């Protein structure tokens, strides 16, 4: 049954030519802005459709995904991101929920007081 492997129909024939991928300048894509890695800082450069901008570093770069990714890994960028997120995350969130919680209990107490008067 090994004759099948030598099936002459599969031998020869023109090899499929791979299309040459031309490296064309990449335009900025809006969908990149919604990627979780970029959404907080990636904005299009209004002056150049082939460029992307970082809203945190105020720096513009060639609008290529690899380039933008590299920018996201940059030390300067990361420092700014960390500095920015510290204000927004954990601690302040905790304080906020704490305040909300206190407010809730205050409202509940007030309600109890009001209902006691009725």
Q: How far is the CB of 90 from Zn ion (least distance, A)?
A: 22
Beta carbon nearer to Zn ion, 56 or 63: 56
Beta carbon nearer to Zn ion, 52 or 54: 54
- Note whether 42 and 18 are within 8 A (CB): no
Segment lying near Zn ion (by CB under 5 A), choices 22-30, 32-40, 75-83, 91-99? 75-83
57 in contact with Zn ion (CB under 5 A)? yes
Six token digits for residue 58 = 């105020």
Burial of 99 (0-12, 13-18, 19+ CB in 10 A): exposed
Judged by CB under 5 A, the chain residues 36 through 55 that form the site for Zn ion are 54
- Given 42, 52, 56, 68, the residue binding Zn ion (CB under 5 A): 56
Q: Residues in the site for Zn ion, rule: CB under 5 A?
A: 54, 56-57, 77
């Amino acid at each position: 049954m090994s004759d099948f492997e030598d099936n002459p129909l599969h031998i020869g024939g023109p090899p499929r030519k791979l299309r040459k991928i031309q490296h064309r300048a990449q335009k900025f894509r809006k969908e990149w802005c919604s990627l979780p890695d970029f959404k907080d800082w990636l904005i299009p450069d209004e002056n150049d459709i082939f460029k992307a901008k970082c809203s945190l570093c105020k720096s513009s770069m060639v609008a290529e995904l690899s380039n933008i990714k590299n920018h996201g890994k940059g030390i300067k960028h990361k420092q700014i991101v960390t500095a920015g997120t510290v204000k927004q995350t954990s601690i302040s969130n905790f304080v906020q929920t704490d305040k909300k919680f206190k407010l809730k209990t205050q409202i509940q107490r007030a309600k109890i007081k009001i209902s006691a008067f009725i």
